[in-house]
Structure 1
Amino acid sequence: MAEINLFQSFFLIFSGAAIVASLALFGRQPLLVAYIALGVLLGPSAFGVIDNVQLLAEMSNIGIIFLLFLLGLEMQPRALIAVLRKAIFVGIVSCAIFLGLGFGIGQLFGYTDVESWVIGMALMFSSTIIGIKLLPTTVLHHKHLGEMMVGLLLFQDFVAITCLMILLSGSTGQVDVAQLGLSFAALPLVALFAWVVVKYLLLPLFTRFDRFHEYVFLLALGWCMGLAELAEIVGLSHEIGAFIAGIALATSPISQYIALSLKPLRDFFLVLFFFSLGAQFKLAMLPEVALPALITAAAVLAIKPAVFRYLLGNQSEDKVLAWDIGFRLGQISEFSLLIAFLAFNQQLIGSGASHLIQATAILTFLVSSYIVVLNFPNPIAIKDHLRRD
């Protein structure tokens, strides 16, 4: 088969993604699972139609940078503190339990200590896509369930950022404690620099030229990329820099416009990211990871809802509400895939551990989304009495 060029690759990816996304929506499946499945089919492990996977993977990293920039933009400090205060105890205890669960599973199947800890990291987080996107809008914005969900997911986001810093500090198969210390020391300096630049340079520019939408878009894009590169230079990472860039702009009145402007660009690169994950998934690894992935997924789907039910019940939450939150958060996360991707690239884990996390993510996304759609109020419920916009 003749090698296809970049345009043909994009044609296959995005035309194919449009088709499989339509099928996924009819089948009530998360879209990212469809993108991963398309990557597996078109990648080297299946039909081998697209073989320049490494180039696509490098391009798709930009989507993760935009994802973290937008995450920072949406974190209003005052509201953030309010919801985190409600969720911090449950967040800390649940993360510790799932970290230990993942480490235990890793040890059970003979993975190294570092690989087991990374598997534990991957199990700590729940999917924002399933947790928030399948929550009715009125519940998300006006009810206690929405507040608790947002609080727990935001707390997990902060933990995920810390995990990314840990992973990105080590590049030789061992976590570099000294480099991690330097990274944490550089963090407040980068944050202070970001605050000064936003206050004295960017906000005056936005205020003066806010009528020129193209300029606002360009300045926001340049700010995101610029601070991401600065963070990389001082020993952090592009992702951490983009997150700080977003938080620094979050209190600006123009932050929501920037977020809306960048979401299509973010989605473009995230389709590439999930496609490249699927394309890099080696079907030959399935015999090795099938049993561990099935057991890990079953443990996550059974234990996560029970843990959240118990912890929230101890905080005097209503029993039905506690189970509702538990099942909505009863899977692993998009961040889990990112952790597997980065840890493998940093040579902290092998191909087996990486594929275990990816397979567990796909399984828990599928099963958990079915549980939520069939049993709890959501915008795409099959049963009329559960459908809520």
Structure 2
Amino acid sequence: MSIKHIDQATYNPLIAGSQMTISFTDLTADQKSGLANYFAQHNQRFITQENQDLLQITHRDLETVIADFKQNAIIATNELEAIYKDSQIFFAAGNRSFDITDKPMIHSIMNLSPESFYDGKDHNLKEYLGRIEEQIAMGISFFDIGGKSTNPKAGDMSADEEFSRMEPYLKEIRKAFPDIILSVDSNNPITIERALDHGVQVINSISGFDTPEMIGLVERYQAPVITTYNNRDKPTDNVHQSLLDYLDDQVTALKARGLKDENIILDPGVGFTSRYEGITKEEIAAEDVTKIKAIRAMADRRLPILVGVSNKSFMGTLFDREIDDRLISSLLVEYNMVMNGGRLIRVHNIEETRLLMDIFNTLAL
């Protein structure tokens, strides 16, 4: 008996409902009958042919099949387990690894910048740690901390000022919650290096890793990254292709510095769109929609993909939603992006997003 995955080049486990095709050859009559009966009972497509038998199945359902076959011994599961493992997609940081093939992961925004567009305010340390504790109880393990707003109206600040906002919080977070994954939301290499030295494991840079200073940090610390396509200051004729080309170049450069697939998160950069003189808010929103739609092509890279649309301004332009009335539109866009390959959802509204992901995990094809 031989079992092979015959469409690896075209199958994409990140796309909801995507099915792989598995070929079975040299089955005995009993094995063929047992498989046909099992898959008929479980509404799986099993096609019997003269020289081979074909199974079309999702990655999620294959996990169930392997567990069942281990119990009822219709066939040995070694080859099926190898196919399953070859299709898995992981995010790894620190000493932890997360299988995100079928189960998206929430990335909690924990701003420390009063200028932030959504929940900007001065923070109380006790209250801040309490929020993290509540979210851990909800199953959240990945938190994003930044001391400087990326809002284009907020202006810039020195690394000293930016890190001074984070430092007391980082010390207490690491002391209280040593097992969580922390990312630093910054594009200043000085700030980032200080954060890494204070226990942050992931670099979240809206400016990517194009400079010697930024790529040098990756090489020295071997820190996982979120790299963003940001064309805010770069008018672009073909946003879709420019986005894919830029992120491909980033992956090549980051792998050359030692990172692996599971250490590289791709961000299409929704909200980090053209801001040149004369551009209309409708044109900006149209670029954001192009980036949202590009996620399906990004998923062909089979790397972790960030969904970062929470409460962003294109929802105001397209759907006439004020900033405090964008929850429903945020959730619907996030769900669409997860169905098309997004796996790390960077959000403000944790409880509602967790419910959304529970629904996805229950109903996903």
The normalised TM-score by structure 1 is 0.31
Which structure would you say has the larger Rg? 2
Bigger helix share: 1
Q: Which is bigger in relative contact order (C-alpha 8 A, separation at least 6)?
A: 1
